Amino acid sequence: MFPILPAIANRRSVREFQPRPVEPEVIDALLEAARLAPSSINLQHFRAIVVDAPEDLAVVRASAYQLPGVVNAPLVLVCMADVSADAELARGAEETSRGAPKVDMATLRSGAGSGFSLKIGREWALINAAIATENLVIQATEMGLGTCWHHHFEHAEVRAHFKLPDHMELLTLLLVGYPSVVPPARPRRASVRWPTAS
Ligand SMILES: Cc1cc2nc3c(=O)[nH]c(=O)nc-3n(C[C@H](O)[C@H](O)[C@H](O)COP(=O)(O)O)c2cc1C
């Protein structure tokens, strides 16, 4: 009756993988799930580097301190947000004079004193990238893959190796592969509903 809920309930952070490579068409399906994600002002910030070549995997694994999950994942997606989309929007808002507030290009925020502020900039880009990443994670779970967000890594090393321009923000390394061990469910709060006075 609620077909997505089992995929969400069955997802685990997987850190032990079979050596089996992830097929190119499977990678394409994962990226498609991310491409279709919602994003604020439809700015579609998400970008991913597909890391499955041995020389690139070696750099990414070293950047993540050779931790066990990273070392045996056959595929790592470097999940990122391209903030340059915000600059295009800011230019458009200034040019079209549709009543949009003037944008301070230095900070990518609306001018001080404005009652309304455009919700653009780094944190919104990262939120949008996170939504796309989790879309991808759920699709991966449906396809029998294991994934794990991995945010402990040296950003500078990854940036340097892939020659990333300044407008690319790093979100996470996403480990992907066919699991060899699926860990048990970790505990969750009983409810996320915030009680109201009424
Ligand atoms: C933003 C984010 C960052 C995470 N970073 C790491 C990490 O660096 N290393 C790791 O082993 N797990 C990492 N995890 C996985 C969490 O530990 C895991 O989601 C949590 O313990 C719940 O377990 P489950 O995903 O199996 O339900 C991360 C998860 C998220 C959402």
CATH number at residue 29: 3.40.109.10
Tell me the mean pLDDT in the region 106-126: 70
146 lines ligand 1 (CB under 6 A): no
Could you tell me if 46 and 132 are in contact, meaning their C-beta atoms sit under 8 angstroms apart?
yes
- Mean residue pLDDT of the chain comes to 89
CA-nearest of 49, 69, 77 to 136 is 77
Residue 91, pLDDT > 60, answer: yes
87 pLDDT band, cuts 50/70/90, is confident
Domains in the chain, number = 1
Q: Does a structural domain hold residue 175?
A: yes
Residue 128 tokens read as 């949008």
Residue 116, pLDDT > 60, answer: no
Kindly give the pairing relationship between strand 179-181 and strand 103-104: unpaired
Q: Does a structural domain hold residue 190?
A: no
Residue 100's pLDDT is 46
Q: What is the distance between the alpha carbons of residues 50 and 27, in angstroms, rounded to a whole number? A: 8
Q: Residue 190: which region, alpha, beta or left (left: phi > 0; alpha: psi -120 to 50)?
A: alpha
13 lines ligand 1 (CB under 6 A): yes
Burial of 52 (0-12, 13-18, 19+ CB in 10 A): middle
What spacing in Å lies between the alpha carbon of 14 and ligand 1's midpoint? 9
Q: What is the pLDDT of residues 122-157, one digit of tens each?
A: 999 999 999 999 999 999 999 999 999 999 999 999
Percent of the chain with pLDDT over 90: 75
Query: Which of 131, 145, 149, 158 most suits a substitution to test ligand 1, by most atoms within 8 Å of the C-beta?
Result: 149
Q: What type of residue is 7?
A: A
Owning domain of residue 153? 14-83+121-180
Q: Does a structural domain hold residue 109?
A: no
Q: Does a structural domain hold residue 111?
A: no
70 pLDDT band, cuts 50/70/90, is very high
Phi, psi of 55, deg, nearest 5:
-70, -35
Q: Does a structural domain hold residue 96?
A: no
* Atom 19 (ligand 1) nearest CA: 13
Could you tell me if 120 and 86 are in contact, meaning their C-beta atoms sit under 8 angstroms apart?
yes
